[in-house]
A and B are shown apart, each in its own frame.
Chain A
């Protein structure tokens, strides 16, 4: 065993020789501990310790013995599983169709497929009801169906699939876009037909992307609470809402935290499965070797079938947005269709401060979150250091915890010294940074796994240190992941509600909170107007980013992937 210790000593000595790396690792660990683990710990301890400071498990036993809660648990799993599958499927169809066929309207599909990442909370779900409810424009208006079960599994799943399939599309677009078409050529040469080439080449190569996509969707769906709050209804309880209601309706933080722990369990299982599965399958496809791209992956009928499927989904997505826009420009959503700009006047009158605050918070947290995501992805994929698995786990943890619990945790954790942060801008920014960093990490890791590590090693041998390798080589190579993380974090910061509602203060308020309060007080049209402004600001951000980057970087895509 003696030689082992020599290797370990060498390893440590090596790490010490590289203070920047060491410091980065230590800082990230500290930050993860303070801003992810500590708040969750606070919630846990609140759930485990009764009023008298005694250890007490009753909150858990109560949650476990309640049939209604158990049903909520299974419903959550059901919806999450279905959403993960269908969201991934639709994302995959979009990504495949756009990357592997020569259909028209690609730009349109690309846009539509990323549009729902801006899914205004509450109003998005309400517009599903407007489309599929008793007087729904689609169910009643087109098909004459009055009793479509919009409340419950179907409505909720529809909302979540629309809401989350862009995540799938963005990841899978990056994955499929980087699979060299020459591999398909090779398969054709070996006598494979198109279906075999797809099944034996493209599909297996996109398995890591599919797996991490489904993981993300599964967890997002489990933790989502804006949509089920409106659409699930009490007959179809889901755990995230139950946890929220336990805290906010029954004033039972302990019970809510216990439910959240229950919710955490499948998330973590999903995460471990993904690690076990994806971790074993790495495919290096970006090598700096030339590729030629000839689109002959599908035949004509299949091409038009795929086109139609994308069109159908696009139409559905656009219908939701049209509904929101329509609400914003009429006097009474669904009841009085007189066009008016009154709603916007109201919004700019009442909500200007909130709009400004939201922008400040989003612009501060977004770049930090995206960059941090890339740094962590780089460390996780490319560096061996003690606690690597721990870093991976904790950095993805906040993503699996319902926002409500994170929100409560932040207040519990940061209301006293030494971390006195409540009421400040910092608490919102930090919350957003650490809540949305997993998305960046996931896409960074997925992409980095496809980049030949020799490219970075070459940089080291040319004298670059870790920081230089990261900024000059890794980051440019995973720039699509960086920008999708950037956009994603921005969108989330702009549309966040579940955790944020606990953290907004007199000085720092958010548009989403405005949407909630406006729709609560009957101003649905004003809430729609707020949503429209939200959508417009996010689209403007994406557009500016695109222009600023001279279209070199596709926000959803792969075209800059290493090749130019």
Chain B
């Protein structure tokens, strides 16, 4: 066990207005894991991170690091490093000096320090830039320095606060792979904050989806995407169709939902507790819809409103008979034909892809 947040709550009071920034955050982060806090801006991600780092003092709850209560420990005594959105490099020091900063405080001997710096510049790919100052580096290079500076300390936990948001899209992609590579290489427990779901999906072991200070769901990227526990998560991650209806029957994992005005029956997988007769929501990813029946037991029919051809796939919008609109994606359009606007079309989906949750 590496990092534990126990019922952490943080309330800010400014001008006697109380903002609940973090509401009963409870999470165990295992050693070597990369856990991402994902959520819209203002949902309390940074605050959570700063509580872990020790920059904010929780209103209630505890923070435990390797079985030790660190709630009342100042940031510098926690052995936790942080990579900031703004990089926060020391502008008066060179790359090398930035990396050596923490080592010097540890009073490491010279040769040891040299060795670590060389190792680290190698690891993050900063060779040849050691003598430069931060303002002589590109954004990506600056973020590498920030990473190296934190990693070299061999902290128990490494925190990232939207580290890539100041970079351009292309660089963002390579950098996030880099971060993941390095994180796994040194096997360091990390908490990573982002509002970008793709970023979260691509690097995380575990994702914590947050909204308005509350944890909405905790799970692997697959679970978060395929098995959302509520509409917020389903909606926030990826694109989604919601089909609302009433529970007809529940049988183990299998649910039958009578959908909306059409009364169309959908056989789906149970995502939460469901009670027959009560409303339910079918979560259906656009790519789960197919124009081939094959093994799929559910179907929808409607008119094609419009489509967008994207090369590897085609996205299109369907209007059901009750007027609801559904998004669908089909892949490999070259092999399958393009849809025709205005044509009545039947789409099929499996029981597994119809994820039914409580509303």
Q: A contacts B directly in the complex (CB < 8 Å)?
A: yes
Residues of chain A with a CB closer than 8 A to B11's CB: 3, 7
**CB-contacts of B44-86 with A (<8 A):** 53-55, 57-60, 71-82, 84-86
Distance in angstroms between the alpha carbons of A7 and B71 in the assembled complex:
10
Docked pose: A465 CA to B76 CA in angstroms: 6
Which of chain B's residues have a CB closer than 8 A to the CB of A10?
57-58, 71-72
- Bound CA–CA A13/B85 (angstroms): 29
Return chain B residues, CB-CB under 8 Å to A457. 53, 55, 75, 82, 84, 88
Nearest-neighbor residue (CB-CB) of B158 within chain A: A461
A462 vs B80: C-alpha distance when bound (angstroms):
8
Give the contacting residue for B84; candidates A454, A469, A476; CB below 8 A: A454
Point out the residues of chain B lying under 8 angstroms from A287, CB to CB: 86-88
* Smallest CB gap from A292: residue in B: B135
Q: How far is the CA of A377 from the CA of B351 in the complex (A)?
A: 64
* A471 CB to nearest chain B CB (Å): 11
Nearest CB in chain A: distance from B82 CB, A: 4
B172 CB, min distance to chain A CBs, angstroms: 16
Alpha-carbon separation in the docked complex, A458 to B82 (Å):
7
Indicate whether A462 sits within 8 Å of B72 (C-beta atoms), given known contacts A562-B92, A564-B133: no
Stretch at the interface among B101-109, B181-189, B198-206: B101-109
Chain B, range 206-249, C-beta contacts under 8 Å to A? none
Which of B54, B75, B102 is most buried by chain A, counting CB atoms within 10 A of its CB? Answer: B75
- B269 contacts A by Cβ under 8 Å: no
B285 adjacent to chain A (CB < 8 Å): no
The reply to whether the CB of B9 lies closer than 8 angstroms to some CB of chain A is yes
- Cβ–Cβ contact A7 & B57, under 8 A: yes
Residues of B within 8 A of A563 (CB): 91, 133, 135
Instruction: Write the nearest CB–CB distance from A538 to chain B, whole angstroms.
Output: 28
A290 vs B141: C-alpha distance when bound (angstroms)? 12
Size class of B's contact patch? Answer: 35 or more
Given contacts A4-B59, A17-B73, A454-B84, whether A290 and B101 have CB atoms under 8 Å apart is no
Distance, CA A457 to CA B91, complexed state (A)? 14
Given the interface pairs A7-B59, A14-B72, A462-B149, the reply to whether A290 lies near B137 with Cβ below 8 Å is yes
Contact A473 B90 (CB under 8 A): yes
B64 to chain A, nearest CB (A): 14
B88:A462 contact, CB within 8 angstroms: no
Residue B150 at the chain A interface, CB threshold 8 Å:
yes
Residue contact A3 to B72, C-beta cutoff 8 Å: no
Residues of A within 8 A of B105 (CB): 462-464, 468
Query: Which B-chain residue is minimally distant from A286 (CB atoms)?
Result: B91
Contacts of A146 on B, CB cut-off 8 Å? Answer: none
Query: With a CB–CB cut-off of 8 A, which chain B residues contact A460?
Result: 54-55, 74-76
Asked, given contacts A11-B57, A461-B82, A462-B102, whether A288 binds B74 with beta carbons under 8 Å apart, the answer is no
Give the Cβ gap from A260 to chain B, nearest Cβ, in Å: 35
* A-B residue pair count with CB separations less than 8 angstroms: 128
Chain A residue nearest to B73 (CB atoms) is A17
Write the B137-181 contact mask toward A (1 if CB under 8 angstroms, else 0).
101001000100110010100010000001000000000000000
Query: Is B89 an interface residue when CB atoms closer than 8 A count as contact?
Result: yes
A457 to B101, CA, bound (A): 13
- In the complex, which residues of chain A have a beta carbon less than 8 angstroms from the beta carbon of B74? 14, 17-18, 460, 465
What's the least CB distance linking B62 to chain A, in Å?
Answer: 9
In the bound complex, CA of A454 to CA of B146 (Å):
12
| Complex interface: chain A residues within 8 A of B89 (CB) | 288, 455, 458
Kindly state whether residue B136 has any CB partner on chain A within 8 Å: yes
Q: How far is the CB of A553 from chain B (nearest CB, A)?
A: 11
Interface residues in A458-511 by Cβ distance below 8 A to B read 458-465, 468-469, 472-473, 476-477
How far does the Cβ of B240 sit from chain A's closest Cβ, in whole Å? 35
Given contacts A4-B59, A6-B59, whether A288 and B135 have CB atoms under 8 Å apart is: yes
The docked-state distance in angstroms from the alpha carbon of A174 to that of B264 is 71
Assembled-state Cα–Cα distance A289/B101 (Å): 19
> Which residues does chain B contribute within 8 Å of A562, judged by CB atoms?
91-92
Bound-state CA distance A468–B104 (Å) is 11
Task: Write out, one digit per residue, whether chain A residues 279-300 have a CB within 8 A of any chain B CB (1) or not (0).
Answer: 0000000111111000000000
Cβ of A452 < 8 Å from any Cβ of B? yes
Hey, what's the 0/1 contact readout for A382-395 against B, CB within 8 Å counting as 1? 00000000000000
Give the nearest-CB partner of A476 in chain B: B92
- Tell me the smallest distance from the CB of B157 to a CB of chain A, in Å: 10
Bound: A469/B72 CA distance, A: 19
Chain A min CB distance to B51 (Å) = 11
A290 touches B153 (CB 8 A): no
Using Cβ atoms and an 8 Å threshold, which residues of chain A touch B286?
A: none
- Give CA–CA (A3, B59) in the complex, Å: 6
A7–B60 touching, CB < 8 Å: yes
A-B contact pairs, 12 of them (CB 8 A): A11-B57, A17-B73, A17-B74, A455-B90, A457-B53, A457-B55, A457-B75, A461-B82, A462-B76, A462-B81, A463-B106, A464-B76
**Which A positions have Cβ atoms within 8 angstroms of B?**
3-4, 6-7, 10-11, 13-14, 17-18, 286-291, 452, 454-455, 457-465, 468-469, 472-473, 476-477, 562-564
Q: Which 4 A-B pairs have the closest CB atoms?
A: A462-B102, A454-B88, A562-B91, A13-B72
New contact pairs (7) apart from A289-B86, A461-B82, CB-CB < 8 Å: A10-B58, A14-B74, A287-B88, A288-B135, A291-B135, A452-B86, A457-B75
